[in-house]
Structure 1
């Protein structure tokens, strides 16, 4: 790396910020996948893995993997998390090896694919939930669902930052 590239990297660390955004997106996606509360009400809780109802002697939980829309949501989010993991690892390895310019377009495309998958899942979930009328009482989408949206926002931010071509503009100043 030449002195000009190092100076540009110090002044415009977009790719490092993009790497951090991809990591945060991955962490939020894992937290959303493991969250026990996507939809809650007074006596009901629904996650991606199980639906729990409060009965007089405690809580009774059943698997949600029998419903096709819940399995589709889970598969879309797991696929988005996997694509984000691959793009994060590719970016991290190429950044550490100093060959970071070669893989930015690939990482950006992968992250845009992950964003599309994530947004499809997050739109599918409430539409099919309300369509299936699991709850007839007041309910709200809880923090697990919000973490999924946060993950999608960080994925999009990382993808946009990887698309920036700062090397084209640096040569004009020197």
Structure 2
């Protein structure tokens, strides 16, 4: 019998999950709705993302957050996007060269991307909450704030990155073990001997 082509469904699934994570990361990076803030003044509601430091609530009041941690969160999400895109390319390359090294590198890059995401997803709510509730002016003006859909999309990217990491690291058995019904040309199996 001739050689047969091994299909690696776990690796294909890992590449698909890494690609979905790239799309979700782009949406979370570009989306303006990480936090939705409601103000007492005129029932005004504003969405806050990774790129806005200040909002003018009314003529006499402007709500601002620190630029340093906000830029740090945006940079970490951007680095996660780069690491995830390279992991996707490495996974695709692994599908064509049929070697384990590209999958391992892609898995490591997915871990790095997930860590960047998780760090930014922890820093953002902690710092935002501390700044909004710690400033007496903001507390007087802010009715409530909730984390919005783009923040949830970023957590979705983390879930897909973790799944891609697991599937990149799964080891596929050898060809002979994976195909027990393959006909052996050298020695046929004998069940009965007279």
Q: With structure 1 as the length reference, what TM-score do the two structures score? A: 0.82
Matches within 5 A, 1:153-172: 153-168=159-174, 171=177
Higher Rg: 2
Q: Which residue of 1 is the match for residue 109 of structure 2?
A: 110
CA-atom RMSD, angstroms?
A: 2.5
What's the offset of the Cα at 1:36?
1.1
Q: With structure 2 as the length reference, what TM-score do the two structures score? A: 0.74
- Matched residue count: 163
Unaligned stretches of 5+ residues in structure 1: none
Once residues 174 and 35 of structure 2 are traced to their aligned partners in structure 1, the CA distance between those partners, rounded to angstroms, is 47
Unaligned stretches of 5+ residues in structure 2: 39-44, 181-194
Question: 1:129/1:91 Cα in 2 relative to 1: closer, same or farther (>3 Å)?
Answer: same
What's the offset of the Cα at 1:52?
3.6
- Write out per-residue CA displacement over residues 5-33 of structure 1, whole angstroms, 9 at most, x where no aligned residue: 52xx2xx6111111000000000000000
Task: Give the SS at the match of 2:144.
Answer: coil
What's the offset of the Cα at 1:171?
1.7
- Write out per-residue CA displacement over residues 87-139 of structure 1, whole angstroms, 9 at most, x where no aligned residue: 111212332x3335331111111111111111111011101111111753211
8 A Cα contact 2:17 2:164, kept in partner: yes
8 A Cα contact 2:10 2:167, kept in partner: yes
Once residues 74 and 23 of structure 1 are traced to their aligned partners in structure 2, the CA distance between those partners, rounded to angstroms, is 20
Whose helix fraction is larger, Structure 1's or Structure 2's? 1
Once residues 106 and 92 of structure 1 are traced to their aligned partners in structure 2, the CA distance between those partners, rounded to angstroms, is 12
Once residues 111 and 145 of structure 1 are traced to their aligned partners in structure 2, the CA distance between those partners, rounded to angstroms, is 19
In structure 2, which of residues 138, 142, 146 is the aligned counterpart of residue 140 of structure 1?
A: 146
Once residues 172 and 49 of structure 1 are traced to their aligned partners in structure 2, the CA distance between those partners, rounded to angstroms, is 50
What's the offset of the Cα at 1:166?
1.7
In structure 1, which of residues 39, 45, 49 is the aligned counterpart of residue 35 of structure 2?
A: 39
Q: Which residue of 2 is the match for residue 48 of structure 1?
A: 50
